[in-house]
Amino acid sequence: MKLNPFYILVFLIQAPLLWAQDVQLSTQIDTTHIRIGEQIQFTVQLEVDSTAQVFFPEGQTFAPLETVQAYKTDTTRKENRLLLLKKYALTQFDSGTYLLPTQRIEVDGRGFFTDSVRIKVGDVAVDTTKQKMYDIKPLIEVDRNYARIGKIILLALLALLLVGGLIYWFYFRKKPLSQEEEEAQLPPYDRALLELKRLENSRYLIQDEFKKYYTELTQIVRAYLEEDVHVAALESTTTELIEKMELLKDSGRLNINEGTLEQFEKILHTADLVKFAKSKPSTSIAEEDRKAVELIVIKTKEGIPEPTEEELRETEAFLEEQMRLKKRKKIRWVAAAAIAVLLATGITLVASYGPKNVWDAVAGHPGKVLLEGEWITSEYGFPPITLETPKVLVRYEPDLPDTLKDSLQSIQAFEYRSDETLFYVAAHSINLMNQAEPMFKESVDQALQMFEDEGARNIITKQEEFTSANGIRGARMYGSGMFQIPDSNKTVKGKYSIMLFGGAGFQQIIVLSWLDNDTYTSEIAEKIMSSIVINTET
């Protein structure tokens, strides 16, 4: 049957429409006007067949808007249909008008598109009459932290003590001797007899090891002769050794009879035959030879002339000198090691922190000790003044003129003074009579009068606005002058700063003074001023 071309055309037009009716897409946006940084909630609602595969946009597809978060898809089943809800949080951090672009949602391989929306991002209004605007502050150089110098020096000293302890333990300490070391310190005669006794108890003869037996036997007697008789016995042949002993006998340096020398020569010849000609005497002969060597050692010891008193003194002096030299050598070695450690530590510290800071750390500069010690944060008076100081402030009674006393309901005063560094800090919390206004001028005059009473001269005064760490505005009087050193007529250049806060019925004052050329007390003053917290609740 032949199809009518008209019906084919109608089918091709309606088929996509029928397919599209299976997918229902809608979008919703909560607002089209936001301020910089605020968020837009963009919602996509999609109704599809329960078997459909759906893919929502992921990532930064909303540019120029920024996707803050893509929430999980909320799915609701409705008979054989699914209702999908997808939310996006969007934002923009620059003012202007932006187009939220069309988004493609894929359903079973086909793309469905959302509408584009225009979003307006407005500036945040700033009231410059209430909030002053300032230029961006330039970068500042931060001073190196010198608190580590003391720690490094302490570690170096501990390392030096550890090295010294190890040297003492392994080098100077009188260590308990092992059996071999104790035997090595015995006199040559006693050591030879001890070794001959040990040879007697050995198993050489039982195991037919005659070569080892005679080798050790001759080694013992030769070593004794070399140490006690002072004859080169270890490297001499049998003939050479007997000749040297005969020369000693003839010169009177060794009193020994001819029979003993002949017996000794016979034993040495026997040992040579055993060691080099593989001769094997009987066990009884070997035992007799050992006894004979023991007797030769005894007779040789008896035949050595007694040293004269002068020789004894010379020997003793020589040994004492050797001990002194040995001890001096040990001391020099330890001193050199200690100096090397200290020099290495000192050079490293000076290269890293500079000579002045290293010297101040070693000498314990009082200002450095204050700055790097444990600081204390505390409240003083009522209304309270919160300060962070190197030492806690102590309550005291200020000396006020009668004109000021009549205007005050109460005054609570606290101070800390360091005569070593000429550093001073005080905090006054004052309640005024009848909710009177603060007396800033009188308070400044009183503080300056206190400086003058303590010997200060040539005081220069300046004024500026001051803001506490918690944003309370006040005034600051500051300047410099010549301050008197306690218990002395000398004066040094110093600086001062007076911070004043107050309102109806109360007044708060913080007073600081420090040396002009002392970097440590200057840092202390700056740190205290930056820590001021003012409570205005009376």
Q: What is the CATH number of the domain that holds 65?
A: 2.60.40.10
Q: Is 173 inside a domain boundary?
A: no
Q: Which of 303, 329, 350 is the last residue before a domain boundary?
A: 303
Q: Are residues 207 and 75 in the same domain?
A: no
- pLDDT in the model for residue 393: 92
Q: Residue 100: phi, psi to the nearest 5?
A: -75, 115
How do residues 43-85 score in pLDDT, each as one tens digit? 998 889 888 888 888 888 888 888 988 998 888 887 788 888 9
Q: Shortest CA distance to 511 belongs to which of 438, 458, 465, 445?
A: 445
Helix, strand, coil percentages for the chain (3-state, nearest 5): 45, 25, 30
| pLDDT tier at 135, thresholds 50, 70, 90 | low
How do residues 412-450 score in pLDDT, each as one tens digit? 889 998 888 889 999 988 888 877 778 778 888 888 888
- CB neighbours (10 Å) of residue 225? 26
pLDDT at position 363 over 60: no
Segments forming the whole domain that contains residue 194: 179-303
Distance CA 506, CA 473 (A): 15
- pLDDT in the model for residue 6: 45
State how many domains the chain has: 3
Q: Are residues 187 and 284 in the same domain?
A: yes
Residue 181 is inside which H or E element, if any?
helix 179-184
Distance CA 517, CA 336 (A): 39
Please indicate whether residue 479 or residue 14 has the higher confidence score (pLDDT).
479
Q: Are residues 184 and 114 in the same domain?
A: no
Torsion-angle region of 37 (φ positive above 0: left; ψ -120 to 50: alpha; else: beta): left
Residue 426 is inside which H or E element, if any?
strand 423-432
pLDDT at position 219 over 90: yes
For residue 378, what is the DSSP state? E
Q: Which of 279, 303, 327 is the last residue before a domain boundary?
A: 303
Q: Shortest CA distance to 222 belongs to which of 271, 284, 149?
A: 271
For residue 116 the two structure tokens come to 């584009």
pLDDT at position 200 over 60: yes
Q: Are residues 371 and 441 in the same domain?
A: yes
Percent of the chain having pLDDT more than 90? 19
Q: Residue 389: phi, psi to the nearest 5?
A: -130, 155
CA 309, 313, 318, 323: dihedral to nearest 10 degrees? 130
Distance CA 213, CA 209 (A): 6
With beta carbons less than 8 A apart as the criterion, state whether 138 and 50 touch. Answer: no
Q: Are residues 379 and 528 in the same domain?
A: yes
Q: Which of 122, 140, 164 is the last residue before a domain boundary?
A: 122
Q: Are residues 386 and 527 in the same domain?
A: yes
With beta carbons less than 8 A apart as the criterion, state whether 393 and 387 touch. Answer: yes
Distance CA 308, CA 387 (A): 86
Residues 6+ apart with CB under 8 A from 111: 104, 105
pLDDT at position 157 over 90: no
Q: Are residues 527 and 404 in the same domain?
A: yes
Q: Is 259 inside a domain boundary?
A: yes
Q: Is 361 inside a domain boundary?
A: no
Strands 385-389 and 394-396, by their bridges, are unpaired
| pLDDT tier at 294, thresholds 50, 70, 90 | very high
Count of residues in the chain: 538
Q: 500: which strand partners?
A: 475, 509
Distance CA 222, CA 510 (A): 94
Q: Are residues 101 and 187 in the same domain?
A: no
